Amino acid sequence: MNTNRKKFNIWTGSSFIIFITYLLFLVYPIVMILGQALFTQGKFSLANFTTFFSRSYYFSTLANSFKVSLTATVSAVLLGTLLAYFFAMFQFKGKKFLQILIIIASMSAPFIGAYSWILLLGRNGVITKFLVNTLGFPNFDVYGFFGIVLVFTLQLFPLVFLYANGAFKSIDNSVLEAAESMGSRGFNRFRKVIMPLLIPTLLAAALLVFMRAFSDFGTPMLIGEGYRTFPVLYLYSVHQ
């Protein structure tokens, strides 16, 4: 009896500490930010929001963030889903090794990926020099909108891959066999049978990718070159 009460007390105390930590480091900062945004000189006001949306610079930066995040989300979902389908439906040598590499890629910080692509496809990058000087390609670089989307896609598609790969493996083979016996094969089977089962998983993965891309600071800061997103604008506003 005393042992059960002791275990209960330890569990209750641990849960209470976790809850207080959650309130202190997550809820409290959000409440403070909302309070500063909604109250001016102690009175409720939407003046801060009016000022924000009335300035084209702020509004265009917010639009840039949505544009980059949505494009990267679509690209990452497409790439991650196709790779997950290939890995789940086919057997080939080196499959586990490639899966490990994909998982490792998702663990690296975004700015590390951005810096790596600068070394490869920057103005003085290794691949850029080879393509321009050796093969005669026109000058190009990884900076700007397309560079940000490229890095986000390659950085975040492993998240979609992990979600979609698990979803593909969870599909009962009898469902696929039944669809095939009824004449549904190839892309038609994928569209009518597999995709409806996969949509909830892909929506969850897409939301995660979008939030990661929208809140990322390092990648737009390193390779944006004037294409500012909201996190970059926030840093400049704080240090002004």
Q: For the chain, give the mean pLDDT.
A: 83
Cα 135–138–141 angle (5° rounding)?
105
State yes or no: pLDDT of 239 exceeds 70.
Answer: no
137 to 117, 120, 151, 228: CA distances (angstroms): 18, 15, 22, 28
* Residue 117 tokens, joined: 């692509």
pLDDT for residue 4 is more than 60 = no
Nearest-angstrom CA–CA distance, 196 and 211? 24
- DSSP tag of 122: S
- Position 202 scores a pLDDT of 93
Question: Quick one: what percent of the chain has pLDDT higher than 70?
Answer: 90
Write the pLDDT tens digit of every residue in 76-88.
999 999 999 888 8
Q: What is the pTM of this model?
A: 0.78
Q: Distance of CA 217 to CAs 53, 66, 104, 204, Å?
A: 22, 14, 21, 22
Instruction: Report which of 84, 67, 105, 79 is spatially closest to residue 229, judged by C-alpha positions.
Output: 67
**Is residue 3 scored above 60 in pLDDT?**
no
How far apart are the C-alpha atoms of 27 and 208, rounded to whole Å? Answer: 20
Give Rg (Cα) of the chain: 24
pLDDT in tens, 15-67: 888 889 888 888 888 888 888 888 887 788 888 888 877 878 788 888 999 99
Specify the 3-state DSSP secondary structure of 87: helix
